[in-house]
Each structure stands twice: as structure tokens, then as C-alpha cells.
Structure 1
């Protein structure tokens, strides 16, 4: 039996988060596909697939995190290269889907960029998308191809089960995240609260009041994404003022910039729990726990490849996760 018969599944990676891709193929038990990715002096990206992929089931791992535009373009070029090399199917594994916050016209004369990115992926030739914790679940409907939307919640749940948290309350740091927080509260058999905020500008938010009881209770703030950390740190501040005991934050995608890191250092968070969907930032002075989603993505890739259901990945300890 030749190598192609042994390994009809191939996983390639762009440059956005190679360590995650290496952990994914390790969990599957196959080598990482060979590809050359370089840039011309003018910044143009060059991609060459360095092995035969004709008739193979190809998965390309590339979160579209900063530098967002570069990583999206690199992903599109890799998809095109795979399609032109006669891959049987190309699946884009996008652990973090950039531009997801631009999912609607919330003011006049603006683009719906999340839909534009979906159009670009399909035009490049992708057959399927695998992603984690979309900022807005309706983005799945922007695609006319299958989208497998995974949750980081099972990974976070298993970690929190080891923490021995007592009298826990799950908190949404804003109104838009209440459904996510409600799902976590049911999964953890915890209370539910909401911080109502006011956005000052793109980098600043102001927590105004709390709906729910948090006094003398452990608190878990949950969100899908943080960049400037303004929402989570201002929520933590008002929760502490309301008498919360210990404050944790569980966030799927930590796309932190220098301002966000500074805010976290000055915050009252006891622990920041994140995943490795994007490259893990160095945050000295903050208690950061990084959870690995590679086994989750690896199992999903295997099931997609073999035509099995991925719905059991939404169950943990007999509970179905509905976020």
C-alpha cells in the first residue's frame, strides 16, 4: 500500500499559527503537509504545495488573526493552489474568523465585510469551512457551502471542573453576549448575570450597572473575543465594586494588542483563561492559562474526512452545549 493510500487526508498550514497546526496533526497521527510560503520583495505572497495532492482530501489551517489582511490573502492563495493541484476537496480550517464583527449594516454606507470574506473564500475554491466560536453565529448563513461551527466551551468546561469554584455566577460583559453566557451557566449549573456597558469609542467602553447577584460569589466572565480588553476589564471592575469574590475571564480568542495587555495588567482579574486558536501573546504580570483546542479540531477533521457526525463534540459529561 503506497503512502497516498495510507494517508488520503492531508493537513497544510499557513504562517498565521503553525504551532496549532503542528499540534492538530500530532493529535490526528499524520505528518504536516509540505508547502512553501514566501513573499516577494514587494510583499506579494507566493505559495507552492510541495507534494502530490491530486484526489486528496486537503485541510488548510489558517486563523485570520493579525495581520488580518495578510493572513486572509495567504489563505486564499493556498486554497487556489490546492484547487489547481486537483485536490478532491479543500476545507479551510479557520480557528478564528477575522472580520466577524462586521456582520451587519449598523450605520449607513458601511460594508458587511464578514459576508465579503465568505464570498472570497468560496470564489477561491474552498469546499467547506471549519471554525471555532464565531462572533456572530449567523455568519454561517453567509456561506452557500457547509460550515462546521465548533465551540471552545467543552475545553473550557473540563478545565473549570478542576478549579473547585463555589457559588459560581457566569457573567456576560455586554448585552450581545448574553446567549453565550446563558449557555455556559447551564453547562456549569451556575447563576447568570449581565454587565450593561456604554461604548465610548472603538477602544473604550464604560460599565454602567450589573443585572444579577454577584456579591460574595465567584464570577466567570465569558466572551468570544478580546482585543483591547476594555469590555472585560471594565466589567471586572464593576463586578468587584459589587462585591464579587474571585473574578475569572474565559475568552476563546485573545487577539490582544499592547493596550489590551496593559489593561489586563492593571485589572482585578484573578485568572485569564484563553485558547490557542490564535498565537498566544506574552502577558507578563497576568495569570494566563492557555487551553489547547488542537485535539478538538483534530477530531473534527477526522470526522469530516470520514463522513462521521461532529455533533457529539458538542456534548460534555452528558450535557449538550447550546451556545
Structure 2
């Protein structure tokens, strides 16, 4: 792979991660996004992309709509500039939680967003720990979903491998069981535990965690999940695990949204540490206390290499 045959471009969503990916690839990352005086987005790719393969690095994290529009405009600009192939690398895929009709008269928002990305001209999509993997079927272009465990597990091993009292991997809900099982295998954990909770049909609010499936008494527990938003689910699971006798509780999460009052909840909880990746840019204030950031730059760089060279992503990047 030569540096002249492909182009990396980015918007404003996570410039630090984009530059880290470029550093791993020994490749300049072209910044494309500015604003007009009235606030409208202005995209201009500063160098030619004619006949080249373009990789666009842009999570659609908060502010979701601004970052999504930047992504769509970058795809359109690359297509109109005669790029031969356009890969949208979207570490965090906004609207991914709205993936089915849970009640009447609501949209399936993630399906519409995926459709917009495809019809803007993207040739391929790359994500990290999408909320539900069946979303890859919403569009006809290739969609590679990477696992943050590639980046997180080596760091977690340094912390949890020496544990002698027994490590338990816990999922804060039943939907995360496959993830918890995968982490348990990769970390040679003793067992898996599942927090069971119910949704109130009348109010549509998630109730507090009701019961725990699995034994955590006297054990070190690592909660794993795909995202932290307000941290209500995570902290509710921590409270139940503590009641069930867990010795200590940490968490490993892919996407750190940290919507208020997440940080307050985490700092007030019995969580020992929270490992989170940099799919979403985390400002310096949020790095204080219990939050430990692990970069996915190498993971994304390796995926880009695989796509460009035709190597198997699953053989190289799926632990």
C-alpha cells in the first residue's frame, strides 16, 4: 500500500482520533469542515481525490445532527470529485439505538440514517461495536463492524489477569450476554453474570435492576457494555452487584457519551474504574477520577489497511 493511492479525510467530530489513525498509517489526515457565517456546514477537500480510494473518519456522536450532516457532505464531495471508492469509517454510529418499532407511529431512525449514507455515495461502512449487528442488513453496501475488545482486552489483561479471587464478567442487561461471554473467554474469566431488569409497560421507563443471574460473592466483577449515556443502567447494575457481595466492580465500555448526570453518578458509585475507548472525543474534564481512556486508533488503522490491501478483517482483527 502506497501513501499516494488513498486519502484520509475528516470532519470536526473527533479530530484527535482521526489524527491518531493517520499517525498509525503514516498518512496525512485532511481536514475538510468549516462553517459559513450563518452556521451552515462548508465542506471542501483540500487535495485531489480523483481516482483515489477515500476513507472518511467521522463518528456521528453529539452534536449528532451536525456530525451526521458533515459526514453526508464529505461523502457527496468525494463522490463528485471522482473518488473511486468511499469508505465511511464511523467509530460511533448515532441513532443506532432506534433500530426497531417498539411502539406505534415511530421511525426506525438508524435504517434511515444508513440509507442516507449509502445513497450519498458511500461504498462501504466501518463501525465499532454497533448497538445491534443486524443493522448491517439495512443497506446493500458492505458494512464491517469491528470489536473494541481488540483494543480493550490487552489493557484489561494487565489489570485483571493477576486476580486470584476469581474474575466474573457481567452484562448490565440480557442483550449484552454475547459481549460478556466473548470478554469472559478473552480474559479467562471464571464465569458470566447477567443483570435482569424489566421495563414498565405503562410508563415505558426502565425499572431498577431486579435480579442477578450468576454468583459474584467475593469476586472481582467487570461490567461490559457498548455505551454509557446517562449511566443509569450501569450504576443500577453496580448497586445490585454490590448487594450480591461483589468484592470490587469495574466497567469496560466502548462508547462514552457521558450525558449528564453520568459523571456524577459514576463518581458517586462504587465503581472502581471505568475503561472507555476514544470513539467519541472526551474532553479533559471528564478524564479525571475513575475514567481511563483506551484508543481504538490502531484498530481503525489496521481495518483500513485490510480494506485497502484486500486482507481478511476477521482473521486479523477479531480476537
Q: Normalised by the shorter chain, which TM-score bucket?
A: over 0.9
Residue range with higher mean Cα deviation, 182-191 or 293-302 = 182-191
Residue 286 (structure 1) shift: 2.8
Residue range with higher mean Cα deviation, 79-88 or 40-49 = 40-49
Residue 303 (structure 1) shift: 1.2
Assess, with a 3 A threshold, how the Cα gap between structure 1 residues 20 and 186 changes in structure 2: closer, same or farther.
same
Q: Is the 8 A contact 1:250 1:273 kept in 2?
A: yes
Q: Secondary structure at the match of 1:177?
A: helix
Partner of 2:37: 41
Residue 287 (structure 1) shift: 1.5
Query: Map of 1:148-297 to 2, 5 A cutoff?
Result: 148-163=144-159, 164-166=162-164, 167-190=166-189, 191-199=191-199, 205-281=207-283, 282-283=285-286, 286-297=289-300
Listed as ranges, the gaps of 5+ residues in structure 1 are 317-323
Given the two structures, how large is their TM-score scaled by the length of structure 1? 0.92
Q: Is the 8 A contact 2:147 2:318 kept in 1?
A: no
Q: For residues 77 and 315 of structure 1, what CA distance do their matches in structure 2 show?
A: 31
Assess, with a 3 A threshold, how the Cα gap between structure 1 residues 277 and 34 changes in structure 2: closer, same or farther.
closer
Residue 221 (structure 1) shift: 0.4
Residue 305 (structure 1) shift: 1.0
Q: Is the 8 A contact 1:205 1:234 kept in 2?
A: no
Give the RMSD, CA atoms, in angstroms: 1.7
Q: Is the 8 A contact 2:197 2:206 kept in 1?
A: no
Q: For residues 316 and 133 of structure 2, what CA distance do their matches in structure 1 show?
A: 17
Q: Is the 8 A contact 2:6 2:53 kept in 1?
A: yes
Partner of 2:25: 28
Q: Secondary structure at the match of 1:12?
A: strand
Q: Is 2:304 the counterpart of 1:301?
A: yes
Partner of 2:4: 7
Q: For residues 284 and 292 of structure 1, what CA distance do their matches in structure 2 show?
A: 13
Q: For residues 158 and 202 of structure 1, what CA distance do their matches in structure 2 show?
A: 38
Given the two structures, how large is their TM-score scaled by the length of structure 2? 0.93
1:124 to 120, 123, 141: 120
Describe the superposition over 1:34-85 as per-residue Cα deviations: whole angstroms up to 9, x where unpaired: 53x2222332211011111100110000000000011001100011011101
Equivalenced residues, count: 312
Q: Is the 8 A contact 1:204 1:230 kept in 2?
A: no
Q: For residues 294 and 193 of structure 1, what CA distance do their matches in structure 2 show?
A: 30
